[in-house]
Chains A and B, each alone.
Chain A
Amino acid sequence: MTETPRAPMKQRLLRSDAVRFMAPLVVAILAISLYTNGKNDNFLGGDNFKNILLQVSVLGIIAIGQTLLIAAGQLDLSVATLAALAGVIGATRINDGGSELWAVILVLLICALFGLIWGLLVAGLRIPPFILTLGGTSLFASIALRISKSSPVPARERFEWLGRAKILGIQTPIWFFLIIVVVAALVMRYTRFGRHVYATGSNEEASYLTGIPTARTKVLCFVISSTLAGFAGLVAMARISTGDPRNGSQLALQAIAAVVLGGGTLAGGRGSPIGTFIGVVLLAVVQSALTFNNVQTFWNDAVFGGVLIFAVVVTAIGDLRRRRFGARPILASLFQRTSRASAEVKP
Chain B
Amino acid sequence: MTIHALELRGISKSFPGVRALADVSLAIRPGTVHAICGENGAGKSTLIKIATGAQNADTGVIRIDGQEIDHPSRRVMQKLGIRAIFQERQIALDLSVAENVLLDGLPKRFGRIDWRAAKKLASERLRALEIDLDIDAPVRTLSVAQLQMMEIARAVSFEARLIVMDEPTASLSRHELEPLFRVIERLRREGVAVLFISHHLEEVFEIADEITVMRDGSVVAQGATTEFTPASVAELMFGRIIDSSRVNRRADDQAGKPLLVLKDVSTQRLHNVSFSVSGGEILAVTGGIGAGVSELARVAAGASLKTSGEVFVVDESQKMQGIRSRRHALRLGLAFLPADRKRQGLLLERTLVDNVVLGQQAVGSHLIFTPSSATKSAKSLIPAANIKTANIDVVVGTLSGGNQQKAMIGRWMGVKTKIMIFDEPTAGIDIASKFEIYNELRRLANSGVAVLVCSTDFQEVGQVADRVLVMRSGNVIGEIDGPSATERRLLEMEMSK
Mutual binders A and B: yes
A contacts, CB < 8 Å to B: 1-8, 11-12, 15, 189-192, 195-196, 198-199, 202-203, 205-213, 269, 324-326, 329, 336-339, 341-347
In the bound complex, do residue B90 and residue A346 qualify as a contact, i.e. CB atoms below 8 Å apart? no
Q: How far is the CA of A94 from the CA of B144 in the complex (A)?
A: 63
In the bound complex, do residue A203 and residue B348 qualify as a contact, i.e. CB atoms below 8 Å apart? yes
Q: Which of A192, A269, A345 contacts B364 (CB 8 A)?
A: A192
Asked if B370 is at the interface of the complex by the 8 Å CB criterion, the answer is yes
In the bound complex, do residue B88 and residue A346 qualify as a contact, i.e. CB atoms below 8 Å apart? yes
Q: How far is the CA of A4 from the CA of B88 in the complex (A)?
A: 32
Chain A contacts for B358, CB-based, 8 A:
199, 207, 210, 212
How far apart are A345's CB and chain B's nearest CB, in angstroms? 5
In the bound complex, do residue B301 and residue A209 qualify as a contact, i.e. CB atoms below 8 Å apart? yes
In the bound complex, do residue B349 and residue A347 qualify as a contact, i.e. CB atoms below 8 Å apart? no
Chain A contacts for B91, CB-based, 8 A:
342-343, 345
Asked if B369 is at the interface of the complex by the 8 Å CB criterion, the answer is yes
Asked if B38 is at the interface of the complex by the 8 Å CB criterion, the answer is no
Q: A12-B393, A326-B16 are in contact. Are A206 and B90 (CB under 8 A)?
A: no
Chain A contacts for B177, CB-based, 8 A:
none
Q: A209-B326, A347-B89 are in contact. Are A336 and B73 (CB under 8 A)?
A: yes
Q: A5-B392, A269-B350 are in contact. Are A346 and B375 (CB under 8 A)?
A: no
How far apart are A187's CB and chain B's nearest CB, in angstroms? 10
Q: How far is the CA of A338 from the CA of B88 in the complex (A)?
A: 14
The 5 A-B residue pairs with the shortest CB-CB distance in the complex, in nearest-first order: A211-B330, A7-B393, A202-B347, A347-B144, A3-B379
| A interface footprint on B133-160 (CB within 8 Å = 1, 0 otherwise) | 0000000000010010000000000000
In the bound complex, do residue A2 and residue B89 qualify as a contact, i.e. CB atoms below 8 Å apart? no
Q: A6-B375, A269-B350, A324-B15 are in contact. Are A192 and B366 (CB under 8 A)?
A: yes
Chain B contacts for A12, CB-based, 8 A:
393
In the bound complex, do residue B392 and residue A212 qualify as a contact, i.e. CB atoms below 8 Å apart? no
In the bound complex, do residue A1 and residue B90 qualify as a contact, i.e. CB atoms below 8 Å apart? no
Q: A189-B371, A347-B144 are in contact. Are A208 and B303 (CB under 8 A)?
A: yes
In the bound complex, do residue A190 and residue B368 qualify as a contact, i.e. CB atoms below 8 Å apart? yes
In the bound complex, do residue A209 and residue B392 qualify as a contact, i.e. CB atoms below 8 Å apart? no
Q: How far is the CA of A137 from the CA of B272 in the complex (A)?
A: 49
In the bound complex, do residue A209 and residue B336 qualify as a contact, i.e. CB atoms below 8 Å apart? yes
Asked if B241 is at the interface of the complex by the 8 Å CB criterion, the answer is no
Chain B contacts for A198, CB-based, 8 A:
350, 354
Q: Which of B16, B144, B369 contacts A195 (CB 8 A)?
A: B369
Asked if B329 is at the interface of the complex by the 8 Å CB criterion, the answer is yes
Q: A192-B368, A199-B361, A347-B171 are in contact. Are A206 and B391 (CB under 8 A)?
A: no
| A interface footprint on B343-379 (CB within 8 Å = 1, 0 otherwise) | 1111111100010001101111011111100010011
In the bound complex, do residue A6 and residue B367 qualify as a contact, i.e. CB atoms below 8 Å apart? no
In the bound complex, do residue A11 and residue B92 qualify as a contact, i.e. CB atoms below 8 Å apart? no
Q: How far is the CA of A4 from the CA of B340 in the complex (A)?
A: 26
Chain B contacts for A191, CB-based, 8 A:
367-369
Chain B contacts for A192, CB-based, 8 A:
361, 364, 366-369
In the bound complex, do residue A196 and residue B361 qualify as a contact, i.e. CB atoms below 8 Å apart? yes
Q: How far is the CA of A336 from the CA of B78 in the complex (A)?
A: 13
Q: A208-B326, A344-B88, A345-B93 are in contact. Are A4 and B369 (CB under 8 A)?
A: no
Q: How far is the CA of A191 from the CA of B361 in the complex (A)?
A: 9
Provide 16 A-B residue pairs closer than 8 Å at the C-beta atoms, listed in order of the A residue. A4-B379, A195-B369, A198-B350, A199-B358, A209-B303, A211-B330, A211-B362, A269-B349, A324-B15, A325-B15, A329-B55, A336-B74, A344-B89, A345-B90, A346-B342, A347-B87
| A interface footprint on B325-344 (CB within 8 Å = 1, 0 otherwise) | 01101110001101010111
Q: Which of B144, B358, B394 has its CB near the most chain A CB atoms (within 10 A)?
A: B358
How far apart are A152's CB and chain B's nearest CB, in angstroms? 44
Chain A contacts for B390, CB-based, 8 A:
5, 7
How far apart are A215's CB and chain B's nearest CB, in angstroms? 9
Chain A contacts for B394, CB-based, 8 A:
7
Chain B contacts for A15, CB-based, 8 A:
393
Q: How far is the CA of A19 from the CA of B269 in the complex (A)?
A: 51
Chain B contacts for A206, CB-based, 8 A:
338, 343-347
In the bound complex, do residue A203 and residue B346 qualify as a contact, i.e. CB atoms below 8 Å apart? yes
In the bound complex, do residue B93 and residue A343 qualify as a contact, i.e. CB atoms below 8 Å apart? yes
How far apart are B217's CB and chain A's nearest CB, in angstroms? 14
Q: Which of B112-120, B380-388, B429-437, B453-461 is the contact stretch? A: B380-388
In the bound complex, do residue A203 and residue B147 qualify as a contact, i.e. CB atoms below 8 Å apart? no
Chain B contacts for A190, CB-based, 8 A:
368-370
Q: How far is the CA of A44 from the CA of B85 in the complex (A)?
A: 60
Q: How far is the CA of A189 from the CA of B91 in the complex (A)?
A: 39
Q: How far is the CA of A4 from the CA of B364 in the complex (A)?
A: 25
In the bound complex, do residue A342 and residue B103 qualify as a contact, i.e. CB atoms below 8 Å apart? yes
Chain A contacts for B366, CB-based, 8 A:
192
| A interface footprint on B15-32 (CB within 8 Å = 1, 0 otherwise) | 110100000000000000
For B363, the closest partner residue in chain A by CB is A211
In the bound complex, do residue A212 and residue B362 qualify as a contact, i.e. CB atoms below 8 Å apart? yes
Asked if B125 is at the interface of the complex by the 8 Å CB criterion, the answer is no
Q: How far is the CA of A4 from the CA of B336 in the complex (A)?
A: 25
For A201, the closest partner residue in chain B by CB is B347
In the bound complex, do residue B90 and residue A344 qualify as a contact, i.e. CB atoms below 8 Å apart? yes
In the bound complex, do residue B347 and residue A199 qualify as a contact, i.e. CB atoms below 8 Å apart? yes
For A336, the closest partner residue in chain B by CB is B73
Q: Which of A11, A203, A344 contacts B347 (CB 8 A)?
A: A203
Asked if B411 is at the interface of the complex by the 8 Å CB criterion, the answer is yes
Asked if B324 is at the interface of the complex by the 8 Å CB criterion, the answer is no
In the bound complex, do residue B370 and residue A209 qualify as a contact, i.e. CB atoms below 8 Å apart? no
Q: A346-B89, A347-B171 are in contact. Are A211 and B387 (CB under 8 A)?
A: no
In the bound complex, do residue A210 and residue B89 qualify as a contact, i.e. CB atoms below 8 Å apart? no
Chain A contacts for B342, CB-based, 8 A:
346
Q: How far is the CA of A208 from the CA of B54 in the complex (A)?
A: 35
Asked if B189 is at the interface of the complex by the 8 Å CB criterion, the answer is no
Q: How far is the CA of A343 from the CA of B94 in the complex (A)?
A: 10
Q: How far is the CA of A287 from the CA of B346 in the complex (A)?
A: 41
Q: A3-B383, A6-B392, A7-B392 are in contact. Are A202 and B345 (CB under 8 A)?
A: no
Chain A contacts for B382, CB-based, 8 A:
4
Asked if B75 is at the interface of the complex by the 8 Å CB criterion, the answer is yes
In the bound complex, do residue B391 and residue A4 qualify as a contact, i.e. CB atoms below 8 Å apart? yes
Chain A contacts for B93, CB-based, 8 A:
343, 345
Chain A contacts for B364, CB-based, 8 A:
192
Chain A contacts for B18, CB-based, 8 A:
324
In the bound complex, do residue A212 and residue B380 qualify as a contact, i.e. CB atoms below 8 Å apart? no
How far apart are A329's CB and chain B's nearest CB, in angstroms? 8
Q: A6-B393, A209-B326, A210-B358 are in contact. Are A337 and B75 (CB under 8 A)?
A: yes
Chain A contacts for B393, CB-based, 8 A:
6-7, 11-12, 15
Q: How far is the CA of A250 from the CA of B367 in the complex (A)?
A: 36
Asked if B389 is at the interface of the complex by the 8 Å CB criterion, the answer is yes
In the bound complex, do residue B389 and residue A213 qualify as a contact, i.e. CB atoms below 8 Å apart? no
For A340, the closest partner residue in chain B by CB is B90
How far apart are B363's CB and chain A's nearest CB, in angstroms? 7
In the bound complex, do residue A326 and residue B15 qualify as a contact, i.e. CB atoms below 8 Å apart? yes
How far apart are A337's CB and chain B's nearest CB, in angstroms? 6
For B391, the closest partner residue in chain A by CB is A7
How far apart are A263's CB and chain B's nearest CB, in angstroms? 13
Q: How far is the CA of A165 from the CA of B58 in the complex (A)?
A: 67
Chain A contacts for B391, CB-based, 8 A:
4-8
Chain A contacts for B389, CB-based, 8 A:
4
For A211, the closest partner residue in chain B by CB is B330
Q: A4-B379, A6-B393, A337-B75 are in contact. Are A346 and B87 (CB under 8 A)?
A: yes
